Amino acid sequence: MAKISNGAIDKKDHSNGNNKKDTLAIEEFAADRQGFLTKILTDFEDHLIERTRHFLGYHVNLDFNHLMDLSPLLRFHINNVGDPFKDSNFGLHSKRFEVSVLDWFAQLWEIEKDESWGYVTNGGTEGNFQGLLLGRELLPDGMLYTSRESHYSIFKAARMFRMDCVIIRTVTTGEIDYSDLREKLCLNKDKPAIINLNIGTTFKGGFDNLDLVIKTLEECGFSNDRFYIHCDAALYGLASPFLDEQGPIFSFKKSIGSVSVSGHKLLCSSMPCGVHMTRKKYITAISKSIEYINTLDNTISGSRNGHASIFMWYSLNVKGRLGLQQDVKKCLMNAQYLRDRLKDEGISSMLNEMSFVVVFERPPNREFIKHWNLSCEGNMTHVVVMPHVTVKMLEDFVNDFVREKNIWYGCGQIQPPCLAEEIGTSNCCCSIHGKRGLQNGK
């Protein structure tokens, strides 16, 4: 949120509004209350429009003008408290829409409707909590295995549910290191394994290979009833069937226990949301009948956002499977375009296969990072090429980066960072590895 001074928002300020002086006071004021409020809100809208134009660093699809059609529903409280498949005394709900969304995902992830159970969550994080809670309830003395590049929600869940967590090394792409997984599984053969599988890591978009993980479990002596796999598919859960010609990168046809996807990522939604799905036979492990709501409580949240189900239902219907496939194709092509442009400009960068996330050298300037809404980790930053990101936006970004780079590094006092360890020597254009590349004729 931008700075507020005399009721106005400074549109050029990209601060996040975390400073005390930036907060909007709820005030008693006598004259023209409505005019004052309208001014604050229209200025804030302008600020959001400006931020949207430069939104490159996070996994959110901002292409959702069609959701304006649903604005009349904002007059209603809609709350899907409890099990989506069971009615309750709470009449203001949208469970019909929620079940329709769940049926769609059941088909996408290859599980029969009547063998699946799920719900529309508040986002990927909640879906991960639900998946790991189920794993722990089904295998109470199980140990959680997850790669070090997993989303922070996984480590938070391990703390919340007091699970022993074994952290597995990763390779340069961000994918799990199977030899490290094997070694650590073998050390703990006496305890069941709860695995968090990354269907696209947050920062690098690295994919853990489901078949290889199941093979490793079997080779280490873990039978089907002694492991539980939760798939964290926050970004790619919806894209999975369209990424690999060989078939979907995960599916309930294989030995997985649950999946979590975010609804505001590839699909799009103006509010955070997502889907969690599991096998119906597992949900009884956490279901409890609650008289007060006259239904089953088996979701992490009690009150649940009923608008989110309608938003997801509407977007899925407006886009259709074909529209989603086209979005995926566009994101993959634009991500390759960005990677190539950065490489052409001598900027260290990496793009994994099937990924929308282009990782490259972190700009040394905070204002630049804020201007383009970039997220950073160590010496790296990334652009997540979502459906709202156009070639023109990418071109403007690269031109801005190159222009600024001459200022940051022009006088030779500081050098661009070396990313050989993070993204591999062949992707690194630093003064050592870049020169070697030139010598090799690259």
Q: Contact residues for ligand PLP (CB under 6 A)? A: 59, 123-125, 128, 151, 153, 198, 200-202, 232, 234-235, 262, 272, 274
Q: Minimal distance in Å, beta carbon 84 to ligand PLP?
A: 19
Task: Choose between 241 and 274: whose C-beta lies nearer to ligand PLP.
Answer: 274
If you search the block for the tokens 């936006």, which residue do you land on? Answer: 393
Kindly provide the b/e burial profile for residues 305-335, where b requires at least 16 CB atoms within 10 angstroms of the residue's own CB.
bbbbbbbbbbbbeebeeeebeebbebbbebb
Rounded to an integer, what distance in angstroms lies between the CA atom of residue 210 and that of residue 362? 31
Q: Taking the complex as a whole, how short is the minimal distance between the CB of residue 261 and ligand PLP, in angstroms?
A: 9
Residue 257 or 416: the one with the smaller Cβ distance to ligand PLP is 257
How far apart are the C-alpha atoms of 173 and 176, rounded to whole Å? Answer: 9
- Is beta strand 227-232 parallel, antiparallel or unpaired with respect to 4-5? unpaired
Query: What is the nearest approach in angstroms of ligand PLP to the Cβ of residue 212?
Result: 19
CA dihedral 202, 208, 210, 211 (to 10 degrees): 160
Tokens at 397, concatenated: 């970004």
Identity of the residue, 269 or 295, whose beta carbon is nearer to ligand PLP in the bound complex: 269
What's the rounded Cα separation, in Å, for the pair 112 and 130? 20
Q: Is 120 exposed, middle or buried (0-12, 13-18, 19+ CB in 10 A)?
A: buried
What is the number of the residue whose Cβ is closest to ligand PLP? 124
Nearer residue to ligand PLP within complex by CB, 94 or 198 = 198
d(CA 260, CA 64): 22
The residues carrying an active-site annotation are 355
CB of 363 to ligand PLP, least distance (A): 21
Let me know how long the chain is.
442
Cβ partners under 8 Å of residue 25, min gap 6: none
Q: Which amino acid is present at 369?
A: I
Q: How far is the CB of 149 from ligand PLP (least distance, A)?
A: 9
Q: Which is nearer to ligand PLP, 220 or 266 (CB)?
A: 266
Task: For residue 417, give both structure tokens.
Answer: 């960072």
Nearer to ligand PLP, 201 or 305 (CB): 201
414: which 2 tokens?
């500081």
Q: Report residue 132 as tokens.
A: 């790991």
Least Cβ distance, residue 204 to ligand PLP (angstroms): 10
Shorter beta-carbon distance to ligand PLP: residue 262 or 348: 262
Q: CB of 198: closest distance to ligand PLP in angstroms? A: 6
411 by Cβ neighbours in 10 Å (0-12 / 13-18 / 19+) ranks as exposed
